[in-house]
Amino acid sequence: MNAAIRAVTRKAIHEGFQVFGIERGYLGLIQEAIFPLQARDVGGIITQGGTMLKTARYPEFQDEALQENAYQILKRYGIDHLIVIGGDGSMRGAQGLSRHGMSTMTIPCTIDNDMGGTQYTIGFDTALNTVVDAVGHIRDTSNSHERVAIVEVMGRKAGHIALQSGIACGAEIVLVPENPMPLHEVCRHLKETQLRGKEYSVILVAEGAYKSGEVKEFIKNHTEFDPSLTVLGYLQRGGGPSAFDAILAARMSEVCINTLMSGVDNRLIGYIDGHIRTISYKEAEKLQFPINEEQYTLLSILSS
């Protein structure tokens, strides 16, 4: 997120805009936590995870009256365009504000990669790299102790983090919410792999697929394995951005400001087949990129 804040701020200033930062998203907007941002204010943040503007969950912002209030606040501050950096809830907030007359743009930023209109969200690649690195460490112990390792990863209702990191780290089994393998099937698979000479296995559980504690108990009760369980949790949300994410943030921010200057607004910035494109909020909702079932098959072939 910081990489995007920096890129939006500097590109906008370069083009002659005055920039304001808003702390804690829509909550901060309602509380008027609004302050001018200069190019130097975003110095040194590109390699830092998180967001210098802080963030807050604020589901109340679905309320039409709050959105109108926010719109009036933005007008009072003389703000012509609002650039929202966030996930699908943030995009819905931007969509709401645009219905009240605000000019908005959304830059997709969530580790979950679960937004329509884009194949990549900023933060996803960084989270993947973190998971792959962590599983590598866990695998060393699993291998030495000949133990099954269960690793729970984030992703909300989507299996993107689990599937992609599973392919990258060579997990034996990946449980995703889109198509969760039944647990008795998991046990059968583990027994089979043991018969084939595998001394240990890594199982990635997407948080939306199963409660990882229940997976551990089920395996323990239905096989002779006693799996270890690691919940990666907030480890996945921290750390500086991967080069891919930092470059994505720079490219999306550039397109965002250029689009506003061309007189077009109320759009999501998307990454589609290597290109940065803009897409209306309505179209973005319809253009979903769910997990690729073929990659799920590939993973099981490669983990034989």
Which positions are catalytic? Answer: 112
x-marked contacts with ligand F6P along 49-78 as a string, rule CB under 6 A: --------x---------------------
Q: How far is the CB of 192 from ligand F6P (least distance, A)?
A: 31
| 111 lies in the binding site for ligand F6P (CB under 6 A) | yes
List 112, 125, 245, 265, residue binding ligand F6P (CB under 6 A): 112
The C-alpha R_g of the chain, in whole angstroms, comes to 22
x-marked contacts with ligand F6P along 191-230 as a string, rule CB under 6 A: ----------------x-----------------------
- 19 close to 35: Cβ distance less than 8 angstroms: no
Tokens for 84, please give them. 């929202």
Looking at beta carbons only, is 11 or 156 nearer to ligand F6P?
156
| 92 lies in the binding site for ligand F6P (CB under 6 A) | no
| 87 lies in the binding site for ligand F6P (CB under 6 A) | yes
Residue corresponding to tokens 């780290």: 169
Looking at beta carbons only, is 1 or 97 nearer to ligand F6P?
1
Residue 11 CA to residue 3 CA, distance in Å, equals 12
Binding-residue total with ligand F6P (CB under 6 A):
10
DSSP 123-189: THHHHHHHHHHHHHHHHHHHHHHT--EEEEE--TT--HHHHHHHHHHT-SEEE-TTSPPPHHHHHHH
List 156, 160, 216, 267, residue binding ligand F6P (CB under 6 A): 156
List 90, 98, 110, 165, residue binding ligand F6P (CB under 6 A): 110
Phi, psi of 190 (to 5 degrees): -65, -45
Which of the stretches 132-140, 148-156, 187-195, 250-258 binds ligand F6P when contact is defined by CB under 6 A?
148-156
Which of the stretches 19-27, 153-161, 170-178, 247-255 binds ligand F6P when contact is defined by CB under 6 A?
153-161
Span 223-262, contacts to ligand F6P by CB under 6 A? 237
Please, what is the Cα angle at 171 between 168 and 174, to 5 degrees? 105
Residues with Cβ within 8 Å of residue 153, at least 6 apart in sequence: 131, 161, 162, 165, 204, 205, 206, 207, 232, 236
Residue 85 CA to residue 42 CA, distance in Å, equals 15
Q: Calculate the CA 257 to chain-centre distance.
A: 22
Sign, CA torsion 89/95/97/99: negative
Q: How far is the CB of 130 from ligand F6P (least distance, A)?
A: 12
Residues in touch with ligand F6P (CB under 6 A)? 57, 87, 110-112, 154-156, 207, 237
